Structure 1
């Protein structure tokens, strides 16, 4: 086994880099989970107020959700292809995962435009305000993931097998972003003021 196979960046063992990066990603996801948990609690408390009303979510959110699912699946398969020494398939799946993420962000902006056209503004309605806040925060975290995915794709393009651990970390992050989005989607779509008051014990 040659040095290029065994060593990662900076001449250090690749397993050490993968382990450190994996721990770092878990810590980061823990922080993000805490952040969104606080937002969710704030949303529930605000929606339990007497002036809160629900908004009709635009249909575009179903399309963006499907794109995020597809991107998560594509990156999972890309990791498998890189480990099974199928570089062409790994490259195609990496590209597909990135395009799905870009598509997700584009469709989210489309959903914003649909709500703005329906006179749902960022201020004035608690549900509308939190919709823009939560989707913007999620979109920013996904956009940051796209930067990491682009860096991973650049490193993996010559030989995906050498960057299999990087692809696996990207897939893990995408699964996490998908889970966060599904929770937010359910929160925004199905937690009515009545449900929020019941949860908060103010009904």
Structure 2
């Protein structure tokens, strides 16, 4: 039953993410900027506002998942349960490849920051190289996560009835889905930077916002990894 609930939570998170993305395409914050009186300048780019709103929603989503994780683990320990804990939770050994994956994501974030610095200095070639490297490292991270899922799947600790296993897949999958969404924006930005009819300044904002998103997902992963290691 607990495994079903965990997978249902994942499905709910995906549905919420799709609904939010659909609503964000309408860009209601741009309407707010358009309605701002000429005398009162709006200090932020609409795209920046949209990104920060989206990050706030993602933060709430991950906080809910982590809260559910600790609550479910607390039930196993018998915390707050008059009848004792639920004995189906069994701690798992996190796949060792997660450490290597973490290094890849850190390097990807660093490369993205270099791309941001390069585009600010007007260095087109270095911007493209750093963007490409950041995306390649992120794709390698996702491949590593898939290998971690396989490692856990074929380990002696794997059990479909173990909620710890279900939560491991849920937390890493939700994070991976957000990285995949970021890779779509990254690919569009990289393609635009390669076009001869597009000036470097035209992709500067996209590079900056993509960098913020990469740094954010790195921090989210470090938090999730710490949670998994500590439990």
Normalising by the smaller structure, the TM-score range is 0.7 to 0.9
Kindly state the Cα deviation for residue 53 of structure 1 after the two structures are TM-superposed: 2.5
User: Residues 120 and 156 (structure 1 numbering): CA distance in 2 closer, same or farther, change over 3 Å?
Assistant: farther
Is 1:90 aligned to 2:116, yes or no? no
Aligned residue among 24, 30, 43 for 2:56: 30
Gapped regions of structure 1 (runs ≥ 5): 1-15, 192-203
Q: Which of 108, 112, 118 is 1:81 aligned to?
A: 118
Q: What is the number of equivalent residue pairs in this alignment?
A: 175
Per the normalisation by structure 2, the TM-score is: 0.72
**Which residue of structure 2 aligns with residue 165 of structure 1?**
205
Equivalence for 2:47: 21
1:110 matched to 2:147? The reply is yes
Cα distance change, pair 29–122 in 1 and its aligned pair in 2 (3 A): farther
Q: Give the helix-richer structure, 1 or 2.
A: 1
Q: CA deviation at 1:123?
A: 2.6
Q: Distance in 1 between matches of 2:204 and 2:58?
A: 25
> Counterparts of 2:228 and 2:132 in 1: how far apart (Å)?
31
CA distance in 2: counterparts of 1:120 and 1:71, whole angstroms: 31
Q: Secondary structure at the residue paired with 2:90?
A: coil
- Structure-2 residue corresponding to 1:11: none
Q: Who is 1:136 aligned against?
A: 173
CA contact (8 A) 1:122 1:132 kept: no
Corresponding residue to 1:71 among 84, 108, 118: 108
Q: Give distance in 2, aligned partners of 1:103 and 1:122.
A: 27
Partner residue, 2:226: 186
Q: Which has the higher contact order (CA 8 A, sep 6+)?
A: 1
TM-score by length of 1: 0.82
Give how far 1:162 is off.
Answer: 2.6
Against the structure 1 CA distance between its residues 89 and 22, is the aligned structure 2 distance closer, same or farther, given a 3 Å change threshold?
Answer: same
Long gaps (5+) in structure 2: 1-41, 77-86
Partner of 2:28: none
User: What is the DSSP-based 3-state SS (H/G/I as helix, E as strand, rest coil) of the residue aligned with 1:49?
Assistant: helix
Assess if the C-alpha contact under 8 Å between 1:121 and 1:129 holds in 2. Answer: no
The alpha-carbon deviation at position 136 of structure 1 amounts to 0.6
Q: 1:120 to 1:29 in 2, by over 3 A?
A: farther
Match of 2:45, SS state, is helix
